Amino acid sequence: MHRTVSDIITDLVQNSVEAKAGSILIEYREDERLLTILLGDNGSGMEPDVLERAKDPFANDGKKHPGRRVGLGIPFAVQTAEMTEGSFDIDSDPEQGTSVKLQLIKDHPDIPPIGDLVSCFAGLMSLSGDFEMIITRVLETSGRKDSYRLQRSELIDALGDLESSTSLGLLDTYIRSQEEALLDPANKGG
């Protein structure tokens, strides 16, 4: 399985990009008990039989890597959900794209570490391709709800590109400032 929750997210979103999605919506929602990750794309989607096989670690659609007999991205997410009493749901339609919901119990003893969420989000935003991506990060704790939203087209507009080392450094700084403000207990949110 993947070492961190961030790695699972990167892997699933990489699938959306490889499915030629023009629009990718991600929500990372955290409350006191649950971590909920929602992903929706309008990529090429999968027929029901392909979708079923995608959950099998020893299956491969034969297109990306003909001759290889494994495909571990989705199975890693399924495995993490199963071993931590969480849930993983995936729906897909060749005409509409794919949606995924991964829900994990935060204090389950086997939940993997979250990883560096900021560099995860920055990495997602800078995946190569021509697509829109919106990431909404929501934190709900007792008496407080706060969020921030990252939109790829706005970031490209502000930075000029999401490829040069300068832009990627600034992107990290920007997202880190959003995350730090979100986690700051002095911030009452809205």
Partner 1 sequence: MAKLSLEELRKLRDEKRYELDKRETENKDTEIIVGMGTCGIAAGAKEAMQAFIEELNDQGLSNVAVKQTGCMGLCYSEPTVEVHLPGMPDIIYGDVDPETAKKIVRKHIMGKTLVNDHIYDRPAADIVKKD
- Which residues contact partner 1 (rule: CB under 8 A)? 2-3, 6-7, 10-11, 14, 18, 64-68, 71-73, 76, 115-116, 119-120, 123, 126-128, 154-155, 158-160, 163-170, 172-174, 176-178, 180-181
Distance CA 161, CA 184 (A): 29
Q: β-strand 34-41 against 23-30: which pairing, if any?
A: antiparallel
Taking the least distance from each CB to partner 1, the nearer of 141 and 177 is 177
Question: Given the complex with partner 1, which of 4 and 34 has the nearer CB atom?
Answer: 4
Nearer to partner 1, 92 or 126 (CB): 126
Smallest separation, CB 86 to partner 1 (Å): 19
Q: How many CB atoms lie within 10 A of CB 184?
A: 11
CA dihedral 40, 68, 8, 76 (to 10 degrees): 110
CB 33, min distance to partner 1, A:
27
Rounded to the nearest whole angstrom, what is the least distance from the CB of residue 166 to partner 1 in the complex? 4
The length of the chain in residues reads 190
Rounded Cα gap, residues 42 and 100, in angstroms: 12
